[in-house]
Chain A
């Protein structure tokens, strides 16, 4: 389980996160939602250690990650997998090398074992046989799936996903959502997804945190979100006339 305790983050005078306390449980798809600029990605970056919180703590299974030095963090980082908004695949490496990269650095597996693991991960994301393609030869959806394959190559305990659906068509978006949900269930990972895609919210949102102006404004499940009377959340979720009409039919 991951916990954030009274996390604040400021960039100069600009306070982006204010007193965020939350728990992200294993085996659940934990979604952080909110409008652009509400602090979703900043919170995610504070949790994974790419940003240091100005105040407050981040705990991984009770261990205070914020207080740790670089070397102490490495053993937790080996258990983290992350899919970035733009996939962040290494341009100079092909698909197979991208997936095998963390295995090369942090395991003593033989080459054939690493290759087997890479092929297994590629099959998992329905990209079997695409080993030798370079990131420049992949579509946006394929890049995301390779990013997921790389993220799960080390069998992570914690999976972080930043805007998995950005720039993707609805069919591919749903495919990626299902992939994330399947991995969470199968490996019992603590999955944290930052999104503003309502299909993801309704489809896989086991636990949802709504950020508004850098504060935790609402917390619940995808079943509760349709019936909430929280004005700001309703304005966000039911922003389009299509969603408003859908809500009236609920």
Chain B
């Protein structure tokens, strides 16, 4: 385990060496941003709307008492969406979508000698292959999380309109009631950390792939599984530290 951790840290150090040419790396960052950000927009939109809607309906069901104001469902939905559903569920889904793509892309480059070709040319391969993915991850995943929060709350509103369990106006009142800005800080820190975990862990497993097509698949699986475990671990640490 310490061997893996040491190798991971060394790879990260190599990844952030000074680039050979900034413009070439910047072009890679932009390409990754489109791939990770725009490419994940669809899946994030779908899961956010549905999770927001389901969360609101469930909270409304559990709080169906004349002694509890209906607007409380809006507050609970808001807090759970911002604190947990949007950053963590999105990150777990993105680990599958972005992480497996990163690990299999780098792994395929390794087994087809494309990484060797880069090294022969004198390119710092971890820097060229990994740093653009990490920079893109820590910028695009927070942006996707913001979109997820907005759509999740929108999904909750939609559920109110469609189900009539809560009046939409009560839901809006609940969203605005007793808002604590610290939950946004928690959400931002989580999404940054998850962006780094997904891209760096999957890059690590892809970069050290050995063998052929079978091993590329195994690296992608390992990348996703370890990313998910680290996301959940970081989730607990960040939540218990800041809140």
State the A residues within 8 Å of B (CB): 48-50, 70, 73-75, 77-78, 80, 82, 84-86, 88-91, 101-102, 104-106, 154, 160
Contact = CB atoms under 8 A, between A and B. Distances in A.
B117 to A, nearest CB: 4
B120 A48 contact: yes
A interface, by DSSP: helix, strand, loop or mixed? mixed
A9 B112 CA distance: 23
19 contacts: A48-B120, A50-B116, A73-B122, A77-B119, A78-B121, A84-B116, A84-B117, A85-B113, A88-B116, A88-B117, A89-B114, A90-B117, A91-B114, A104-B24, A105-B20, A105-B21, A105-B121, A105-B123, A106-B121
B116 A104 contact: no
Interface string B4-33: 000000000000000011001000000000
B46 to A, nearest CB: 27
A78 B114 contact: no
Contacts of B112: 86, 88, 91
Interface string B117-161: 101111110000000000000000000000000000000000000
B120 A77 contact: yes
Interface string B166-178: 0000000000000
Contact-residue size bin, chain B (C-beta under 8 Å from the other chain): 10 to 19
Given A86-B112, A86-B113, A105-B20, A74 B120 contact: no
Contact of B20 (A86, A106, A154): A106
Contact of A74 (B108, B113, B122): B122
Given A88-B112, A88-B113, A90-B114, A50 B24 contact: no
B interface, by DSSP: helix, strand, loop or mixed? helix
A53 B108 CA distance: 26
Given A73-B122, A86-B112, A105 B117 contact: no
Contacts of B24: 104-105
A88 B120 CA distance: 11
A88 B117 CA distance: 7
Contacts of B114: 88-91
Contact of A50 (B20, B108, B119, B124): B119
Contacts of B20: 105-106
A147 to B, nearest CB: 9
A82 B114 CA distance: 11
Contacts of A80: 120-122
Contacts of B108: 91
B113 A84 contact: yes
Nearest to A107: B21
Contacts of A105: 20-21, 24, 121, 123
A39 B195 CA distance: 43
Contacts of A78: 121-122
Contacts of B121: 77-78, 80, 101-102, 105-106, 154
B104 to A, nearest CB: 12
